[in-house]
Amino acid sequence: MNITILGTGFAALTAIKQTRKAAPNANITVIAPNESFVYYPSLIWVPSGIRKGDDLRINLHNFFNRQKVQFIQASVENVTNGGRTVITSDGEYQNDGLIIATGGRFIKKLPGIEHAITPCEGIDAANKIKDRLDGMSGGTIAIGFGGNPNEPSAMRGGPMFEFLFGIDTLLRRQGRRDKFKIVFFNPAPEPGKRLGPKVPGNLVKMMAKKGIDTQLGHKMVGFEANKVKTEGGEFDADLILFMPGMTGPAWLANSELPKSAGGMIVANMFAQVEGYENVYVAGDAGSFPGPDWQAKQAHAADLQATAAAKNLVKSLNGQTDLEEFKHELICIVDTLSHGILIKRTEKGTTLLPPCRLLHMAKRAFEWMYLRQYR
């Protein structure tokens, strides 16, 4: 049984563990550009110095040895032959079963988007935010996010609320919040709605309490070096943080795999690529059926990857009792000092008020999660 897993993000690493558990004797090959994993949820703590970028980059060599997987350092260029062949920058690789977890990419189409920093692009972006903040004596900081109009789930709003409240807390701790104007902007009239119906109102109230201005409900037009432009007008900004919507990985465009309107791999509720045998997808690369509030987040990627791995091994063994993955959205929106727990399932939404313990819980979870890969 030769199983290939593409990627080294949340979905890929969970898929490796679950596949090894379900198929102890399988040959598992992992293909990715780097033998490392970046823990993106903690990038929010880089500007304040709670974390350094290198704390969040984990070398996976030992983890791969423990899981008895073969690692190939290469970039995926295509998947052909009904999923059985992966074409890479290092040649072609065959498989009996495939799990695609190569992640998505941000849509960088807005004019002047190079003037904005996209925090979730990685460690370099988080370091750049820290350097820019450290070098500013005052001014306007604009923070916002957008979506993919053709793929409602392909947005990442949670981290932007964390950068927003975290920077507010940091400037207060430094005793210089009064020298800054912070503006939150979003094309949606009620940002954060997928977290639950009560969430947008609570977040906007929290912003007002902290003296954060809002520009909501106007479609983005673009950016200039010191300007955010929307259909409702434009405003000056000395530092712009913007998280655009997401689409599928670059290699997917030329692939035969089925693509959603938003440019992601179409999957069913078993995380199986639509119309393909023994080909599964998990995480940001996939477009999944389910409630309109599902989002691109690490927890969802883990749930999809668990189902993908179990179902792939079952189908390779001739079993047909595949498992559906669970729809669940859990996040702790961190403010540097407090955490706000938001949990959404098919049954409803739980929203807990800001609490210091939840900030500590988020840090403890990071330690526990990374321990398995160190």
Q: Which residue is listed with tokens 């207060």? A: 172
| CA end-to-end span of the chain | 27
Record the tokens describing residue 156, joined without a space. 């990442």
Contact 269, 326 (CB under 8 A): no
240: Cα within 13 Å, side-chain hemisphere: 23
Give the H or E element holding residue 139: strand 139-145
pLDDT in the model for residue 293:
77
Q: Go through the domains of the chain in sequence order and give each one's CATH number.
A: 2-104+248-316 (3.50.50.60), 118-245 (3.50.50.60)
pLDDT in the model for residue 5:
98
Question: Which one, of 358, 329, 308, lies nearest residue 3 by Cα?
Answer: 308
Evaluate the CA torsion angle 241, 245, 251, 254 in order and state its sign.
Answer: negative
Model's pTM, two decimal places? 0.93
Write down how long the chain is. 374
pLDDT in the model for residue 292:
78
Record the tokens describing residue 308, joined without a space. 């993908």
Contact 327, 346 (CB under 8 A): yes
pLDDT in the model for residue 229:
96
Q: What is the pLDDT along the chain (374 residues), one digit of tens a residue?
A: 999 999 999 999 999 999 999 999 999 999 999 999 999 999 999 999 999 999 999 999 999 999 999 999 999 999 999 999 999 999 999 999 999 999 999 999 999 999 999 998 999 999 999 999 999 999 999 999 998 888 877 777 889 999 999 999 999 999 999 999 999 999 988 887 777 778 888 889 999 999 999 999 999 999 999 999 999 999 999 999 999 999 999 999 989 999 999 999 999 999 999 999 999 999 999 999 988 778 888 889 999 999 999 999 999 999 999 999 999 888 899 999 999 998 988 888 888 999 999 999 999 999 999 999 98
- 356 phi and psi, to 5 degrees? -60, -35
pLDDT in the model for residue 194:
75
Task: Look up residue 260 and give its amino acid.
Answer: S
174: Cα within 13 Å, side-chain hemisphere: 20
DSSP state at residue 272 = B
pLDDT in the model for residue 158:
85
Q: Parallel, antiparallel, or unpaired: how do β-strands 213-216 and 180-186 relate?
A: parallel
pLDDT in the model for residue 305:
97
Using DSSP, state whether 273 is helix, strand or coil.
strand
Task: Look up residue 125 and give its amino acid.
Answer: A
